[in-house]
Amino acid sequence: MKNKAMLMSLLGALLALTSCRDLTLPPVFYTLEKEQPLEDDRAFPDAVTVHRIVKTGTRYFAAANKLYTRTDGPSENWTVVAPPVPGAMCNTLEVFAGQVYAGFYNIGTGAGLGLWSAPGTVPVVWTEVADGDVNDVEIVMIRDVGGELFASTRASNVNALCHGDGTNFTAVTWDVAPGAVPITDVAQDSALNNYWVSAGPYLYMDTGGDFSSFDRYNESGAITYAPVSGGSNTFGGLFTSGTWLYVAASNGQLYRTDDGGANWSSSAVILDDNDDPISFTGFASPDPSDPGAVYVGTRGFGYYRIPGGVVTGTPVRSPAYNISALYNGAINCLLYDAGQSRLLLGTAGSGLWRGDHVSGSEWLWKQE
């Protein structure tokens, strides 16, 4: 009788587990419920650092020192893209005018090999961009903003930014150049069409639209809630969603403006488990059935969801259930694929993660 009672208890527990559909369960229970592992082997290495993910047509490209690609199909595997120079590595990408642009460097010497472009098809055939501003230099960051292709470069520890049409480039003009400070991101606000640049502890703004005067923004800190240039604060990603321009920072705060930077709102200082400010990275804005929500990555604490995009509310650390490699990971980049209702996260040291949309703010996460 005792054995029979134990058997019935075990059977009851199993029935309760298999009938459950609670996405907030810890991953071990969620995995048993769905009969699927958290790892979905798509031939992408699990322990690499993913610097950038882009998509053109139906094809993804991911820069993780080596360059990887696959289509957005349900069973496609990743393959390595041959570099333009044997042994060259890549950690920055962008899609511009239907072409994939990539910056390559020599793994042996660290020397920059400049900017290259290719159609977003395989086999990939690379063409070197001949313009002297982006040729045979280290390419740090590439962005398509407002119909202009921006590329930041570094030579002799001096950082510069140029813009162009993918073939011809012109250096932007600064009131005070960043110099040794790396250039992080470029964005355009939709209110006044100002262009913005984040570079270490500085924000720059160009109001003319001709990139002839990028001025350091609000260095005096006179505007209430404005992100202040200088000091120990370092700015991360810039992002435009609807009428709002968002700015991420390392001081545990998120900022947004919808009037070209005249007025700002900010989050409270968001702290980690040790009461240190969280350092925020880049943004994405998935909107399957979670209107207005904006997601932002962090360095070491997964990502946060900003409900309705309102930074003065309470950003929610995500995902709702704990996946240590993702939840505690540093998120370098985010890409929302609206066609597939899919969110891709590139991490530092934990590879690439794919979130397939379930409902609202719920995603089924798997490591590719």
Torsion angle of C-alpha atoms 10, 15, 16, 19, degrees rounded to 10: 160
Q: 338 phi and psi, to 5 degrees? A: -65, -35
Q: Which pLDDT band holds residue 17 (cuts at 50, 70, 90)?
A: very low
- Identify the CA nearest to 166 among candidates 118, 219, 225, 228: 118
Q: For the chain, how many helices (H) and strands (E)?
A: 3, 28
Query: In the predicted model, is pLDDT for residue 74 greater than 80?
Result: yes
Mean pLDDT of all residues in 111-136? 97
Q: 170 phi and psi, to 5 degrees? A: -135, 135
Instruction: Answer for the pair 154, 180: CB distance below 8 angstroms, yes or no.
Output: no
- Each residue's pLDDT tens digit, 173-194: 999 999 999 999 999 999 889 9
Higher pLDDT, 313 or 14: 313
Structure tokens at 120: 């977003």
Q: Supply the DSSP symbol for 182.
A: P
**Alpha carbons 64 and 363: distance in angstroms, whole number:** 24
Higher pLDDT, 76 or 224: 76
pLDDT for residue 276: 92
- Each residue's pLDDT tens digit, 199-211: 999 999 998 788 9
pLDDT for residue 22: 38
In a domain, 112, yes or no: no
**Alpha carbons 11 and 17: distance in angstroms, whole number:** 10
In a domain, 29, yes or no: yes
**What is the count of structural domains for the chain?**
1
Structure tokens at 169: 């480039």
**Alpha carbons 30 and 267: distance in angstroms, whole number:** 32
Q: Which pLDDT band holds residue 30 (cuts at 50, 70, 90)?
A: very low
Higher pLDDT, 29 or 179: 179
What is the average pLDDT value for the chain, to the nearest integer? Answer: 87
In a domain, 346, yes or no: no
Q: Which helix (H) or strand (E) holds 295?
A: strand 294-298
- Each residue's pLDDT tens digit, 146-172: 999 999 999 999 999 999 999 999 999
In a domain, 19, yes or no: yes
Sequence-ordered list of residues with C-beta below 8 angstroms from that of 164, at least 6 positions apart, any chain:
131, 133, 148, 149, 151, 170
pLDDT for residue 230: 79
Torsion angle of C-alpha atoms 46, 48, 52, 58, degrees rounded to 10: -40
Instruction: Answer for the pair 268, 278: CB distance below 8 angstroms, yes or no.
Output: no
In a domain, 351, yes or no: no
Residue 249: count of CB within 10 angstroms of its CB = 25
The amino acid present at 157, given as its one-letter code, is N
Q: 50 phi and psi, to 5 degrees? A: -100, 120
- Each residue's pLDDT tens digit, 237-258: 999 999 999 999 999 999 999 9
Q: What are the distances in angstroms from CA 250 to CA 247, 273, 274, 281, 350?
A: 10, 16, 15, 8, 21
Query: In the predicted model, is pLDDT for residue 29 greater than 50?
Result: no
Query: In the predicted model, is pLDDT for residue 103 greater than 70?
Result: yes
SS3 state at 17: helix
In a domain, 207, yes or no: no
- Each residue's pLDDT tens digit, 215-228: 998 776 655 667 88
- Each residue's pLDDT tens digit, 131-152: 999 999 999 999 999 999 999 9
Which residues constitute the domain of residue 8?
1-36
Structure tokens at 333: 């980049």
Q: What are the distances in angstroms from CA 58 to CA 74, 120, 121, 252?
A: 12, 9, 9, 36
**Alpha carbons 285 and 14: distance in angstroms, whole number:** 38
Q: What are the distances in angstroms from CA 239 to CA 60, 99, 201, 281, 361?
A: 21, 22, 17, 11, 20
Parallel, antiparallel, or unpaired for β 342-347 and 331-337? antiparallel
Q: What are the distances in angstroms from CA 83 to CA 14, 65, 96, 292, 345?
A: 51, 11, 19, 39, 23
In a domain, 22, yes or no: yes
Structure tokens at 259: 């009037």
Q: Which pLDDT band holds residue 320 (cuts at 50, 70, 90)?
A: low
Q: What's the CA angle centered on 117, arms 181 and 127, to 5 degrees?
A: 120
In a domain, 4, yes or no: yes
Structure tokens at 77: 């595997």
Q: 224 phi and psi, to 5 degrees? A: -60, 130
Instruction: Answer for the pair 211, 159: CB distance below 8 angstroms, yes or no.
Output: no
